[in-house]
Amino acid sequence: MTLIKRSLAAGLGAVLAAFTVAAPADASARRIEDLGIPLEDVLLIGGVVAAGPGGETVLWGASSGDPAHLNAVDPATGAEKARYDLPGAGGSWALEATPDGSVYAGTYGDGRLYRWKDGGGITDLGRPLASENFIWSVAAGEGATIYGGTSPGGRLFAYDPATGVRDYGRLSPSHAYVRSVAYADGKIYAGTEAPAAVFEIDAVSGAARQLPVPDGLDPAGKWAYDVNVAAGHLYVRYGGASPGPLHVWDIAAGRWSDVLQSAHGLDVSPPTRTAPFTWSGTASSSATTRRRRPPRERGCRSRAASPTPAASAGRSWACRTIRARASSACSGAA
């Protein structure tokens, strides 16, 4: 029995010795190596076509990062024309150019507003509203004035370099987002999250009223996206991330006058001589109906969903790309 125990002990000793020999002589050789970040994602959401450095037309875009950047790109070649840091910002959904030549960026992360001027570079205007950390949308007013919508307080503000910031307050006690903003003829238009609501605000007095919901539309679960004004009409897309109906409000008549089915995009283009019609979206089972408007009311929808093949055969869908918007031209004459 003693011999068996001695044999077992010797065997165990040999095994332990083998493991000891196999182990690294230097324990510090065992380490974790940092291989870096395998994949990075840069968002480029907010953008506008406007004059850039030297007055040359460029594509302005805000790229996410730490910090975010405001970039100017040549639309013909893709070459970078300028790049500016946006310190304190994580990115931007909200870029707009004003009639005086300024380009504004409303950002997220800290809810800061930035202004670019040719020859003056970028200016950090700080947080227009101390309670808000996300500027979702900005719209050009008169001169150098910009209007913006925010969260989490669902507020609307204006910034004028001559007078500073004006807080229009919270538009609705039941909404936390002013998601989309437009301006025309002294009125500000603002869309909210679900249940979708659209407000018209007098830019001078601040008086606000909520527009009625289009007939037959249930606002529950829908947001008021893509709020735009062109040629006397207000455009609002009700829905979510997927294509949805783009309703048209006749401002002078004070009523919903039309709808474009299955729209999903960025902006309604300004009226131009080369855009001979707007898509009214009076959809049937075979085609989308076109409705001609007088020249002063012409405009077209950027990045709207294409009509049916029967309607689009033999031509390109109007305002399909940002380059079409850059040249203020839409293809596809009737």
pLDDT tens for the 334 residues of the chain, in order: 454 445 545 554 554 444 454 555 555 667 888 888 776 778 888 899 999 999 999 999 999 998 999 999 999 999 999 999 999 999 999 999 999 999 999 999 999 999 999 999 999 999 999 999 999 999 999 999 999 999 999 999 999 999 999 999 999 999 999 999 999 999 999 999 999 999 999 999 999 999 999 999 999 999 999 999 999 999 999 999 888 899 999 999 999 999 998 887 767 776 776 654 344 333 322 223 333 333 333 334 333 333 333 333 322 333 333 333 333 333 333 3
Give CA–CA dist 297/277, Å, rounded.
9
Structure tokens at 86: 């946006």
pLDDT for residue 203: 98
Kindly report the backbone phi and psi dihedral angles of residue 199, in degrees, each rounded to the nearest multiple of 5, phi listed first: -115, 145
Give the Å distances, CA to CA, from 260 to 2, 137, 190, 204, 322.
Answer: 96, 22, 20, 32, 20
Residues 6+ positions from 320 with CB-CB distance below 8 Å: 302, 303, 306, 331
* CA proximity to 269, closest of 100, 53, 72, 49: 49
Cα 223-299-189 angle, rounded to 5 deg: 35
Separation CA 315–CA 311 (nearest Å): 9
SS3 state at 29: helix
Bridge pairing between strands 103-108 and 91-97: antiparallel
The Cα–Cα gap between 333 and 317 comes to 10
* CB within 8 Å of 188: residues ≥ 6 apart: 139, 141, 147, 156, 168, 181, 182, 200, 201, 202, 203
Burial of 287 (0-12, 13-18, 19+ CB in 10 A): middle
What three-state secondary structure class fits 255? strand
Q: Which of 271, 266, 276, 282 minimizes the C-alpha distance to 59?
A: 266
Name the amino acid, one letter, at 56: E
Q: Are 277 and 269 in contact (CB under 8 A)?
A: no
Q: Order of strands across the sheet with 57-63?
A: 44-51, 57-63, 68-73, 80-86
- Determine contact, residues 279/246, Cβ cutoff 8 Å: no
Per-residue pLDDT, 262: 85
Rounded CA separation 107/112 (Å): 5
pTM over 0.85? The answer is: no
